[in-house]
Each structure stands twice: as structure tokens, then as C-alpha cells.
């Protein structure tokens, strides 16, 4: 697995946080039981998982 610098991981966290925020705002505007809402819900979950993994990697660098 490729090693990333602390700066790269921190930038990825900021980027993911921004994307999560935008997705959550868009999610509220979508109608229930639509394919777009389901897809966005899954995307948000995946982003939260990747944030958790990045944070674990960062904690290992300290």
C-alpha cells in the first residue's frame, strides 16, 4: 500500500469534509424513495468510512 504524507492525508480529510457537507445539503432536497437519494445516501456512508480510515492512518503517523 502506498504511503501518504501527513499533509496529503490532512488535505484529503478537508476535501472529504467539504464533499460530505455538500452531499448532506443536497440529500435534504431530494424526494424520498428515489434512486438519486439512495445513491447519495450510499455515497455519504462511503465518505464517512473513508474519513474514518484516513483518521486511523493519521493517528498511526503520530
Phi-psi region of 33 (alpha: psi -120 to 50; beta: other; left: phi over 0): left
pLDDT recorded at residue 33: 95
pTM of the model: 0.89
pLDDT recorded at residue 1: 66
Contact present, 48 and 20 (Cβ < 8 Å)? yes
Domain boundaries, the chain: 6-61
DSSP label at residue 5: -
The string of pLDDT tens digits covering residues 8-60 is 999 999 999 999 999 999 999 999 999 999 999 999 999 999 999 999 999 98
Amino acid at each position: 500500500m502506498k504511503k501518504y504524507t501527513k499533509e496529503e492525508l490532512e488535505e484529503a480529510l478537508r476535501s472529504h469534509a467539504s464533499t460530505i457537507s455538500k452531499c448532506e445539503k443536497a440529500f435534504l432536497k431530494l424526494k424520498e424513495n428515489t434512486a438519486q437519494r439512495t445513491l447519495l445516501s450510499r455515497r455519504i456512508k462511503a465518505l464517512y468510512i473513508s474519513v474514518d480510515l484516513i483518521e486511523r492512518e493519521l493517528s498511526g503517523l503520530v
